Amino acid sequence: MEWWKAAAEEIITGASKTLENLDKQQVEKLVEMIVEAKDKKIFIDGMGRSGFVGRAFALRLMNLGFNVYFIGETITPAANAGDLVIAISGTGETKMVVTASMAAKEIGAKVAAITTYKDSSLAKTADHVLIMGGRTKKGWPREEDYLTRQLLGERESLTPLGSMFENNCMIFLDGLVVELMYKLKKTEEELKAKHATIE
Amino acid sequence: MEWWKAAAEEIITGASKTLENLDKQQVEKLVEMIVEAKDKKIFIDGMGRSGFVGRAFALRLMNLGFNVYFIGETITPAANAGDLVIAISGTGETKMVVTASMAAKEIGAKVAAITTYKDSSLAKTADHVLIMGGRTKKGWPREEDYLTRQLLGERESLTPLGSMFENNCMIFLDGLVVELMYKLKKTEEELKAKHATIE
Amino acid sequence: MEWWKAAAEEIITGASKTLENLDKQQVEKLVEMIVEAKDKKIFIDGMGRSGFVGRAFALRLMNLGFNVYFIGETITPAANAGDLVIAISGTGETKMVVTASMAAKEIGAKVAAITTYKDSSLAKTADHVLIMGGRTKKGWPREEDYLTRQLLGERESLTPLGSMFENNCMIFLDGLVVELMYKLKKTEEELKAKHATIE
Amino acid sequence: MEWWKAAAEEIITGASKTLENLDKQQVEKLVEMIVEAKDKKIFIDGMGRSGFVGRAFALRLMNLGFNVYFIGETITPAANAGDLVIAISGTGETKMVVTASMAAKEIGAKVAAITTYKDSSLAKTADHVLIMGGRTKKGWPREEDYLTRQLLGERESLTPLGSMFENNCMIFLDGLVVELMYKLKKTEEELKAKHATIE
């Protein structure tokens, strides 16, 4: 048996289901907040693998012409009132992300959170929350799901820790890039023109 | 119409097809090289979004107990003969990655490349190449495909630049993590025990 | 007048005075904590320019053979009881650093802080504090100094924000590297042998 | 004997001498190139510790209102003709930096190099070279100096590898920030207003 393939299929099937079940109004609101921040600054925040997914999204927002920064990188400037912070944390409890989110609120910036847990510390500080399913470091979001699955004899997830959340976010945010391309009438050529030429 | 959803579905369908068509011997050889590097050092290399996907993989290799480093980060030590470099570049022409790959070869380290183009500069320097389909910054890998699709009236890809390659790699490499867990008999609990506690 | 030269001289003179006035026992204790962490893990933490100085130090600790990581980078593993966190913040109030320091304490790791303010939040959470003079983002450490200087007609510092603190730390920590080389009987050749070969 | 202190003094004395001997025309030309790039983009490039010093400088250029980026970070956009790349490498042979410098030249961007070696690969590709003394990973810049020092019985440098070059650059570039503040009539308050508020 090829475990890599079984696991990859699990990720693909999981992503397909999760994205099918996303709350459309939550997505629309997030798109709206990003478009509204067009002449402001956008800050992406996340630690570890959520952070890498956030950086991949930040790079595309840069391609799209946004003033976007990743929190913790060198040239990240001051956030001001009206700027937008997009914070990504599966558990919603990553301390650095929660701290940054609270700092952003104090300044008057808006916070949009992408997390699995609507009652998490991050979700509570955020102006807008997009609930993204997927197993996280904490395990499955609701224990009853886990028990149900066990009772039903469903096999355990192959994918460790937060991998499913991170893949779901990666695919979703790359979808969002296309949505923004259409909203802002950007062609791929325009994105390419802004892509790093020294790498 | 929701463009984000159409694009996300395109990514998912594309990933499913691409992973189905991966050359199994190329995958097995890559797994073997990683397992053999267990008591050596592994260096992951990639720029931009390929780099973020590479970092996400590096983090999981660290969870699995490998001596793994990402080229360009602070504490990356010397590579020596027998160490393994895994280089990720869709086009296979990213200058920094090709340069690093050549430097690695000079030292006597082995290079495994993940790229879409078997004739790329990166592929040519590598000891082993895993061909990963997916549209890249250069467009679709083979122009005849592109023309065929146009002639058949198939719609253009929604997903800009290298996004499909990057998602395919992310999902594939997360699958590989599970393969390695089984090969090395690691449980999720063991991975978690090594996961960053200050973040 | 060449402002760059006047400012550089100010930095050099300032560093010279500051290092002269360092508390030797505080330095010795820091050296001792680092040497004791030889078979444990060391985590360096800092944001912005303090972070870059911290990374430069981390790189040298890696050259010296320590298991050292920079908090926030890819392969940073779990901290455990007995590990050492070295946190650098001029003001001692950088939220991310204070948060990380508190997280480290919860885990049972030891925290050594390098800061200008002995009553700062960072200093209060730390097991050991090394007071490093130098003007920070908050201005000069003690307002009376500032007033005294004004009364005496001394000119304002040329060097903006935390630059003096950061230069003082850079020079001090590079000095510490030599101290550790002697303590651990490492030659420069041994350091070089561990230095990145792919860059 | 306190080695840390002796080494720190060596760094300070070395920096003082090196900056005294900088070629003023080389400095003026660099300042001019930076000021001319005010409405263009500036890219800072360097690996390892030279890179950290470069990032510290990039952060201050951001404070000063420049469109500045660090090569390799997330949101680094395309360089175009007329943009400025400032490349830092003690040896002038760091492969990644030389490669990036050549890529920049192909695009039509200007390259200013800071290096110890006027005949290095980096210096040869650059439009302008600022020679910064200081021992580097290669050892002292001119072997005759080394021999002279040995003959005279001068003791070996305490400071390993490129530490002196990096400290010299750090102090010099922080001096340059003050020069630019005066040239651009920026106050410290204006710099502070742009400094990261979420950190």
Tokens found for residue A195: 């892509």
Using CA atoms, how far apart are residues D125 and A183, in angstroms rounded to an integer? 43
pLDDT bin (cut points 50, 70, 90) of residue D149 is very low
Interchain contact, A175 vs B3, CB within 8 Å: yes
Q: How confident is the model at residue C158 (pLDDT cuts 50, 70, 90)?
A: low
- Does the pLDDT value for residue B40 go beyond 70? yes
pLDDT at residue C190 in the model: 80
Residue C167's pLDDT band, with cuts at 50, 70 and 90, is very high
Q: Which of B166, B188, B189, B199 is catalytic?
A: B166
Tell me which residue in B24, B172, B182 faces A8 most closely, judged by beta carbons. Answer: B172
> C3 Cβ partners below 8 Å, 6+ apart?
C158, D175, D178, D179, D181, D182
Q: Tell which wins on pLDDT, B99 or B156.
A: B99
Rounded Cα distance between B127 and A23, Å, is: 46
CA contacts within 13 A on the Cβ side of A160: 30
Q: Which of C70, C195, C198 sits opposite B103 (nearest CB)?
A: C198
The pLDDT of residue D125 is 96
ipTM of model: 0.89
Predicted pLDDT of residue D130:
98
**Is A49 in Cβ contact with B175 (below 8 Å)?**
no
Burial level of A40, CB count in 10 A (0-12/13-18/19+)?
A: middle
Measured between CA atoms, the residue of chain B closest to residue C104 is B198
Which among D100, D128, D133 has a CA at the least distance from the CA of D113? D128
Residue B82 sits at the chain D interface (C-beta within 8 Å)? no
- Reported as a pLDDT band with limits 50, 70 and 90, residue D157 is low
Chain B residues inside the 8 Å CB shell of A18 = none
Touching subunits for chain A (3+ Cβ pairs under 8 A): B, C, D
- HEC-encoded secondary structure of D112-158: EEEECCCCCHHHHHCCEEEECCCCECCECCCHHHHHHHHHCCCCCCC
Identify the pLDDT of residue A105: 93
Contacts of C194 in chain B (CB under 8 A): 77-78
Contacts of B among chains (3+ CB pairs under 8 A): A, C, D
Residues of D in contact with C163 (CB under 8 A): 60, 174, 177
What pLDDT is recorded for position D114?
98
- At residue B157 the predicted structure's pLDDT band, cuts being 50, 70 and 90, is low
Q: How near does any CA of chain A get to the CA of C47, in Å?
A: 7
- pLDDT (0 to 100) of residue D146: 40
D174 touches chain C (CB under 8 A): yes
User: Is D155 part of the contact surface with chain C (CB cutoff 8 Å)?
Assistant: no
Q: What is the mean pLDDT of residues D132-149?
A: 55
* Average pLDDT over chain D, rounded to an integer: 87
Residue C10 reports pLDDT greater than 80: yes
Tell me whether residues C47 and A72 touch, CB distance under 8 A: yes
A135 at B interface, C-beta within 8 A: no
CB B67 within 8 A of CB B41: yes
pTM of the model: 0.89
Q: What span, in angstroms and rounded, lies between the C-alpha atoms of C149 and B196?
A: 46
Tell whether B139 is within 8 A of chain A (Cβ). no
Cβ <8 Å between D47 and B96: no
Mean pLDDT value of segment B59-72:
93
**C190 Cβ contact partners less than 8 Å away, ≥ 6 residues apart:** C65
Q: Count CA atoms closer than 13 A to B100's CA, side-chain side.
A: 33
| Chain C nearest CA to B121, separation (Å) | 17
B53 CA to chain C: closest CA distance, Å? 11
- Residue B34 at interface with chain C, using a CB cutoff of 8 Å: no
Q: Residue C145: its pLDDT value, please?
A: 41
Q: Residue D144: what pLDDT?
A: 40
The dihedral formed by the CA atoms of D70, D71, D77 and D78, expressed in degrees to the nearest 10: 130
Output the CA–CA distances (angstroms, integers) from residue A50 to A23, A47, B76, C72, D25, in the order listed.
20, 6, 22, 12, 47
Instruction: Please tell me the predicted confidence (pLDDT) of residue B196.
Output: 81
Answer whether C95 sits within 8 Å of A103, measured CB to CB: yes
Whole-number pLDDT of residue B144 = 40
Q: How far apart are CA D89 and CA D50, in angstroms?
A: 6
C7 touches chain A (CB under 8 A): no
Neighbours of D65 (CB within 10 A): 16
Least confident piece of the model among B181-185, C81-85, C150-154, D161-165: C150-154
The pLDDT, as a whole number, for residue B160 is 76
Provide DSSP, D50-107.
HHHHHHHHHHHHHHTT--EEETTSTT-----TT-EEEEE-SSS--HHHHHHHHHHHHH
Residue D180 · residue D31 · CB < 8 Å: yes
User: Does position D45 have pLDDT exceeding 70, yes or no?
Assistant: yes
pLDDT at A197: 80
Place of tokens 């780099």: B51
B15 touches chain A (CB under 8 A): yes
CA nearest neighbour of C38 among C60, C64, C75, C76: C64
CB A90 within 8 A of CB A116: yes
**Chain A residues 87-116 with CB within 8 Å of chain B:** 94-96
Tokens representing D19 are: 């900056």
Question: Are B99 and D103 within 8 A, CB to CB?
Answer: no
Tens of pLDDT, residue by residue over D103-116, are 999 999 999 999 99
D81 touches A: beta carbon within 8 Å: no
Partners of residue C47 in chain A, C-beta under 8 Å: 72
Residues of D in contact with B96 (CB under 8 A): 72, 96, 99-100
Nearest residue in chain A measured CA to CA from C103? A95
pLDDT digits (tens, 9 = 90+) for B111-148: 999 999 999 999 999 999 999 988 766 664 444 444 33
pLDDT at C136: 65
Q: Which stretches of chain A drop beneath a pLDDT of 70? A: 1, 136-158
Mean pLDDT over C159-167 rounds to 85
Which pLDDT band holds residue C157 (cuts at 50, 70, 90)? low
CA distance C52 to chain A (A): 9
Adjacent-strand bridge partners of C90:
none
CB contact under 8 A, B59 and C75: yes
Residues of D in contact with A59 (CB under 8 A): 74-75
pLDDT digits (tens, 9 = 90+) for C24-55: 999 999 999 999 999 999 999 999 999 999 99
Confidence of residue B158 (pLDDT cuts 50, 70, 90): low
Per-residue pLDDT at A185:
85
* Mean pLDDT on B9-23: 94
Confidence of residue C147 (pLDDT cuts 50, 70, 90): very low
Order of strands, sheet of C84-88, starting from the edge strand that comes earlier in the sequence: C68-70, C42-45, C84-88, C110-115, C128-131
Distances (CA, A) of C45 to B31, C87, C88, C130: 34, 5, 6, 15
